Structure 1
Amino acid sequence: MPAARAAGAAARTPGMQPPLPPMSRLTPRSAAPSTNAIPGFHPAPAVPSYASGTTAGGPVRRQPARMPFYVATRGNVTIYLLGTLHVGDPADYPPGQPFRKPILAALAASPIMALELSPDDLLVSQDDVSKYGVCRRPCLPGLLPEPLWQKLEARLRGNPDALAEIRKMRPWLASLLVETYDSLSAGLQTEYGTEAQLQNVFLRWKGRRIVGLETLSEQMRAFTYLTLAQQREMLAQDLAQTPAQNVADMQTLLRLWRVGDADAIAAWESARTEKLAHDRRVAASVDNRIVYERNRRFVQRMQQYVAPNKPLFVAVGSLHLGGPKGVLQLLRQRGFTVDPD
């Protein structure tokens, strides 16, 4: 299971977020619910970011995070690829220069930016999540083995509002709710997801277009077509560690993302999956459904949008980029030369 799921889908799936009362509709610039919409969640007291520190000589000038950024070329066709986190730390996006100069130059050169979902699809995604992920009456206890339900119930014992909501969810959506708590507990914010920050820059230029690399129905099917065994595996992995351990993993992912090496992220995630998997065969089948099949779709759609001498800027969750089945390797197999920045 990608660690992005253990961080509220921080690195992978912006549309798949749990519907929580009040049923707030997602906006094109926000990939996850407001903390005010999450039952029983009380964010930790604000801590000054390391980016806002001072020295005897005055404020420290913070540089933007490096982020995984690559350039794929084949003849006169160019695709810029940025690995994102769907929730983030404001320290990584300084107001004066939220991205490094090579990333800003790539944005300026690209008439089209491709995200996992288009802004229009992301706007209405909450409705489909509710439609396919929520039962009319409490169903989750009956869909889980008793030990797994007891473990989940114990995890949420101090949060009766969340426990009441999760009883009505299917296992895949319950998994995302657990991950959302861990992500927000790590101190990350939805408005500082990479996609939202990219749009703030990209849409300042006239004549630019943002498209999706998959439709909302395609993304939904990646989850709703999971078997019950696969959904149980997702949730079992979320509960295999304590919340504090999941938060520590999220912070590790954030550090790796700041370094900007997509293959290092993929290798770390692979090792984590091996450690947490309840059933490795089932875990591998889930990864194939919600990561690798989508990677292949992403690459196919990229080639439909890019044109000679008209670069395409692509931003997808960081865990989609690296590794032997990642987007970068799939582009290499199609004749592209792929280099960092």
Structure 2
Amino acid sequence: MPSPAAYVKRLARAYCLGLVCCAGLTHAAPPATCPPTAQMPSQEQMMAGLRDTQDRGVLWRIAKDGRNSYLYGTLHVGRQDWIYPGPALQRALQQTAVLALELDVTDPAVQAVMTEPTPAAQLPVIGPALQRRLDGQAALACLPPGALASMHPVLQVMTYALLAGRWDGLDPSYGQEFVLAGYAKAGQRPLISLETAEGQRDALIPKTPAEALEATEQALELLEGQRVRPQLKRLAEAWARGDLAELAAYEDWCDCIKNEADRRAMRRLNDERNPAMAERIAALHAQGEPLLAAVGALHMTGPQALPRLLAERGFTVERVEPHK
């Protein structure tokens, strides 16, 4: 472990590098009408954060062929004091040489794929009324009109849902993926994507324009009904305390699963992506370098949970309890 001063310098560099993906999302506006935006911590705040850091999220040690790697469940939003790795995660970083994320969120090529225009034939018809509702969410997020227009409507509302958390101090810029990606880049550590940007985009976007339209309207109803922020806050609190049972019960309390179509969408977003990620993690581990694989925490739950799939592939999987 580097000295505290050296670690602060690395963390500062990591945070700057990790934030590159969110550059341009904030929009200058009167503080009274806009949610707080992510801020670079001062050196004093970093020293205090490192001194007081604690374990958050869910972490497993996965072992096979005499080597240990780690599997970490992340959250796509966070608070400023969550950017400091807890003792258990610090040890996992020290004992591994490679970082594997769902996607390298700092890669411009990945960002380009996720924001590239969708062919018109695959887009739902967005009439004037629905466009006004999307524009209303942009205004609430303090984004200029059309800031996300190049994105598929489903990806737009997903982004607005994450940005809504800023009113409660939960900002995508503080998400674990950005911090870990920046840490890897600051330490010149290999950073590998477990999925392709195209594959993840296709999983996030419904297959037909009709399904995409329905998903967009449902997400807007949740946003307009002020139901997204309580869900996101509950999810974040469960993640922060490492409450795997609460995370596993997400579909029971999220108010987002109303019918079989919703269940199919959830399986597409979560369960159906897990086997390929498990295979990729197993293949990377087999190459000999110990790795830390960091994937959204909900991928650690359900019948296709990543810890279960890795155990089926011959790994010894052991939950790492938070440091006391």
Q: TM-score, normalised by structure 1?
A: 0.70
Aligned residue in 2 for 1:125: 110
Deviations 1:33-55 (A, max 9, x none): 5442599995335899xxxxxxx
- The alignment partner of 1:325 has SS state of coil
* CA 45–195 in structure 1, closer or farther in 2 if over 3 Å, else same: closer
Number of aligned positions between the proteins: 293
1:226 maps to 2:217:
no
Q: Which has the higher helix share?
A: 2
Equivalent residues in 2 for 1:156-175 (5 A)? 156=137, 170-175=152-157
Q: Does 1:114 align with 2:100?
A: yes
Structure 2 SS opposite 1:87: coil
Secondary structure of the corresponding residue to residue 270 of structure 2: helix
1:227 shift after superposition: 2.0
Aligned pairs (5 A) from 1:72-111: 72-93=62-83, 98-111=84-97
| In the alignment, structure 1 residue 276 sits paired with structure 2 residue 256 | yes
Deviations 1:248-275 (CA, angstroms, capped at 9, x unpaired): 21111111111113343121x21135x3
Task: Report deviation, 1:115.
Answer: 0.7
Report Cα offsets for 1:91-132 as digits up to 9, x if no partner.
Answer: 123xxxx22222212211212110111356x32233223323
Supply the AA of the counterpart residue of 2:294: A
Q: Percent identity?
A: 23
- Verify: 1:43 aligned to 2:24, yes or no: no
The one-character-per-residue Cα deviations of 1:158-206 (angstroms, maximum 9, x if unpaired) are 6697665677764322322431431333322343221222234444545
Aligned equivalents of 1:233 and 1:222: distance in 2? 16
Measure, in 2, the Cα distance between the counterparts of 1:240 and 1:323.
27
Structure-2 residue corresponding to 1:209: 190
Amino acid at match of 2:59: F
Matching of residue 297 in structure 1 with residue 276 in structure 2 = yes
Return the TM-score normalized by structure 2. 0.74
Question: Matches of 1:161 and 1:92 in 2, distance apart?
Answer: 25
CA deviation map 1:262-310 (0-9, x unaligned)? 343121x21135x3334x2211221222222221111111111113763
Aligned partner letter, 1:116:
E
Structure 1: which 4+ aligned runs deviate by more than 6 Å?
A: 38-41
Shift of 1:157: 9.5
Q: CA RMSD in A?
A: 3.9
Amino acid across the alignment from 2:89: I
Match of 1:331 in 2: 310
1:198-229 residue CA offsets vs partner (Å, 9 max, x unmatched): 234444545x3111101222222223562234
Give 3-state SS (helix, strand or coil) of 2:73's partner: strand
Instruction: Please say if 1:264 is aligned against 2:246.
Output: yes
Aligned to 2:164: 182
Q: Provide closer, same or farther for how the CA distance between residues 133 and 76 of structure 1 changes in structure 2, counting only shifts above 3 A.
A: same
Q: Is the 8 A contact 2:98 2:191 kept in 1?
A: yes
